[in-house]
A and B are shown apart, each in its own frame.
Chain A
């Protein structure tokens, strides 16, 4: 059974927010999506519906500190807690590809799902009172009028560091499964038992490869700078005595 998901490489994510706004611009104009509202777009405390946000936090203490950029959107859980709590059946998980979606027509904006979601991935449209969330750009990824290479979520196509991989995490040969296996991809808060489909690839550090020996080399160019005073061959030497 297919389970589509995003695998996000924290080793290369520079926190540029390309995924944040490319998602917004694609999805706000999606057919039947009703748009993604902005509240106080030019005023005090602007806020709005974004399916994907980048959180930045620090780990450790100066100077041994990591600045982590952490993009987060719906994780398309295999056991999504948002689905059973939905009183109208608006929240559902698709059998064919595992994408968790909201039927906006059925949603009554009760927010049960956002309380159930341990990841804070749901986004209420405050004006329409409808709960919205990442669709993995379901209206792009099957669109055969697009070139095959472009049938990916908008955030994946936008990402300048290719930190976002997209594919079937149930297919062991897929790019995403290989990345999870080879790079130690992990799930967010597995203890909640939601079995999130999205995974994160951890940072890895390249260490300097410098040894003390490599400083002492016969071909040190400074040796070429040694100037020897010219010595006259008329000076006495052992050659005058040895036989």
Chain B
């Protein structure tokens, strides 16, 4: 929406992109220059508020770090030197078209497309699929895939985009291992209301900053031990009888009987009273309970049946069986609070108290909302019950090699407390809940990758059993990142953090062209950064780069751009169309689906071009079926045209945007393309919010009305109940394969033990993998990074206002660390891991667990990068911990290259790293190590600003900064 205030001033609405939160903003323009960006009061996500980053969007728009023209590495320059020459888009497209056409016609997997924290995975994924390459992923593998996978494989939904804590109704809120930037503004809004309403907040985190600062109680925990804590709490909940029995019986697989005959090939599998071919991706309702009254097995959810949750039974044929809940109880039996105290550092009494508080609050402060609903078994309910204990967790749990099982444990705890999609607990957001696991699958064979042919299957998917893996006949990976292979079977977001290393080594094969979009893989988005930078410029015996052609699309002068052969200048978020689509990660609320758009506030600066337009141009030139008509002619004029007219299948009525579909825009979710869809979004605060009837808003895993609605509206394929997997048969199927019991795909011999060990149907605690590969005594401390609220990833060091809040970073630690290792507050110290060492400044703190050291992530920068001067604090005093975090496990056997990741999901184990610290020599006091040659400015970038800058919006000085460069 545009409001003309006077001749010079107008206000336009769009969606923020200073982080991934996607708040509504109103941008004030004066004489065509941004003057003020405020939160949109009519937007459901942020309700008018805005954060430090959002308010600093002006300094992103006019940052001298912006790239404004396509650039080609100078013929005589070496990669990484940053020597470029400006070229035209026509030259850039011709180069790409020629190269990509050849790859696509010969071996499509030689092209890799990997993207950072973008919000267009539905389009980038479509491009990869249409190209025919399996080598595609976004940043999830090195972000928080354990959170997504651990929860979705357990409860059919997960935190952040797809669900969250219902703080409106909660009485107790437990925040554990939470990044401070995940769902930033909505969480802040709700947190303050929750506290003002008298709610009690507990923060469990090794560090007390940000959100934890306002917690009523802070419980410091040793990094990587969350699983031990959660399992011990679960044990106490069970042994005290503090679980919600009705919930566990009706809505989880807790009462379902598991075959425990060790001689039977079905050992560890649920009993089924009939075995129809199990098609589709849902749990058929063919399992058994053991009825308390009849004292015999009975079909689950038989009206009037009341199953045992515990105990041991024998079928008529003598087969021993136990309910899954009994197996869970046995699993956690040894996980006592005293056991967990030694591991977590949290006193046993505190662990028990936590369990009691959770259980008693859930049981005694129940909420009943007078909302009627019908469950999938036909039972009518005249109210919705809530057990008001809410959790939120993120990368603190996820970024460990034991994270998947920790998050399984959290999901199970939340389920035992009866808090799933109920008031005051965890709530889903559309399109979730989805089946466990969701339906989409990747290809399963190397033969699915064919020249000049779209990929058979999705580039990313949700394996339900070993036969869904994407491996060759020997069980070896097809993808460059080894995703969906036996090394990381459920790597549902891929493993972007291993792409460069694998491509450099040629394991499993070499790439030809690697296209990286807005991911800073030569710096903060890579582990083992120093060596990864070397790999990017390493040459083979013929003098050719080992990764032959590197294309980087970015709006800014990142460290990664210096290594490109071809740079494509992206626009800022204020200069382009975007969609936050239901096909991707929409901005849904608990009460219904919401999607949103960006609409350009300003024209693109100089030669900047939105990456979406690049993809559509290339897809059209290369004749991808989705982008061309039967005659091979270009189907879509541009990205806005594509968004309006693309349908997931001809006539499906499902496209990128759910609002104002149908010829006249009268349809929601599903309908023919509407030529005026963008105008409708523009008139409606750039978003579409479909509020569902109240009776569809809760208990959606089992809510007949909701599931039918979701099916009718194309959000899910099946309207079947999504029962919670306390016991994960999906995981057990992989173990069976590893044990050679099942007949399908088998892991290579070298991986059998690994798969058998980690694919446990019940959560268990193990130490992070790196701990098993090093001598822990040599590296006594855990090292962590956190992201500050005023910065998002590496994005904001080019921002003149935000960098004044965080221009450099310290290593924070308890004073006892310095006392023990011989240095003082403010000294420059070495931080050494098994992978190497960095030098930085020590800063004492009382609000950190004494076995932990931590720093802010991605504040440190390479000299000259991000348009900064060569002696900027980010480079001279800031540091990057990534240099000493391995992308692969240390001390592996010759020829082994296992990723430093979760063995189930491939989630990068950033926070597993262990270090020692010691004082730097006198000559090394005062500066950071490592240092790199200063990255030069590129053609087209603005002139250096110099000593003073005074921004006054509307003066025109800033919008003309890039003119004629």
A residues whose Cβ falls under 8 Å from a Cβ of B: 9, 11-18, 20-22, 24-26, 28-29, 34-48, 50, 56, 58, 60-63, 65-69, 127, 145, 149-150, 154, 157-163, 203, 205-210, 214-215, 217, 220-225, 227, 230
Contacts and interface: CB of A to CB of B under 8 A. Distances in A.
B668 interface: no
B53 to A, nearest CB: 8
A64 B570 CA distance: 48
B188 A160 contact: yes
A158 B800 contact: no
A145 B5 CA distance: 9
B695 interface: no
Contact of A25 (B55, B360, B945): B55
B882 interface: no
A40 B725 CA distance: 56
Contact of B360 (A26, A159, A207, A210): A210
Interface stretch (B36-44, B537-545, B634-642, B902-910): B36-44
Contact of A225 (B201, B308, B846, B849): B308
A62 B220 CA distance: 9
Contacts of B56: 21, 24-25
Interface residues of B, number: 97
A66 B357 CA distance: 22
Given A37-B950, A127-B950, A225-B308, A58 B847 contact: yes
Nearest to A155: B55
- Nearest first, the 5 closest Cβ-Cβ pairs linking A and B are A221-B245, A160-B188, A161-B192, A220-B241, A35-B950
7 contacts: A18-B51, A20-B805, A34-B952, A162-B49, A203-B214, A215-B240, A222-B310
B49 A157 contact: yes
A140 B796 CA distance: 28
A150 B801 contact: no
Interface of B: 5, 30, 35-39, 41, 46, 48-56, 58, 64-65, 180, 184-185, 188-189, 191-192, 195-196, 198-201, 208-214, 216-218, 220, 239-241, 243, 245, 292, 295, 306, 308-311, 353, 356-357, 360-361, 364, 789-790, 798, 800-805, 807, 814, 845-850, 867-869, 871-873, 876, 944-945, 947-954
Contacts of A150: 41
B353 A205 contact: no
A63 B873 CA distance: 32
A18 B52 contact: yes
B948 A127 contact: yes
Nearest to A205: B216
A18 B55 contact: yes
Contacts of B5: 145
A17 B803 CA distance: 12
Contact of A58 (B196, B360, B846): B846
A106 B807 CA distance: 34
A214 B789 contact: no
Contact of B801 (A21, A45, A225): A21
B804 A149 contact: no
B948 A39 contact: yes
A14 B868 CA distance: 29
A18 B185 CA distance: 10
B50 A158 contact: yes
Given A22-B55, A161-B191, 18 more contacts: A12-B195, A13-B214, A26-B36, A35-B951, A41-B949, A42-B798, A43-B871, A43-B947, A67-B213, A127-B950, A149-B41, A162-B192, A205-B216, A206-B195, A206-B216, A208-B357, A210-B353, A224-B245
A44 B213 contact: no
Contacts of B871: 43-44
B846 A42 contact: no
A22 B948 contact: no
Contacts of A46: 800, 803-804, 807, 872-873
A232 to B, nearest CB: 14
A207 B357 CA distance: 11
Nearest to B202: A208
Centre residue among A63, A159, A209 by max chain B CB count within 10 A: A63
Contacts of B801: 21, 24-25, 38, 48
B205 to A, nearest CB: 11
A65 B209 CA distance: 11
B200 A208 contact: yes
Contacts of A227: 308, 311
A15 B188 contact: no
Contact of A12 (B49, B191, B245): B191
B196 A12 contact: yes
A65 B353 CA distance: 20
A29 B951 contact: yes
A210 B962 CA distance: 63
Nearest to A24: B801
Contacts of B295: 230
Contacts of A158: 38-39, 49-51, 55
B802 A206 contact: no
B38 to A, nearest CB: 7
Contacts of B46: 160
Contacts of A209: 361
Contacts of B37: 25
Contacts of B803: 42, 46
A225 B311 contact: yes
Nearest to A67: B213
Nearest to B323: A225
A31 B198 CA distance: 43
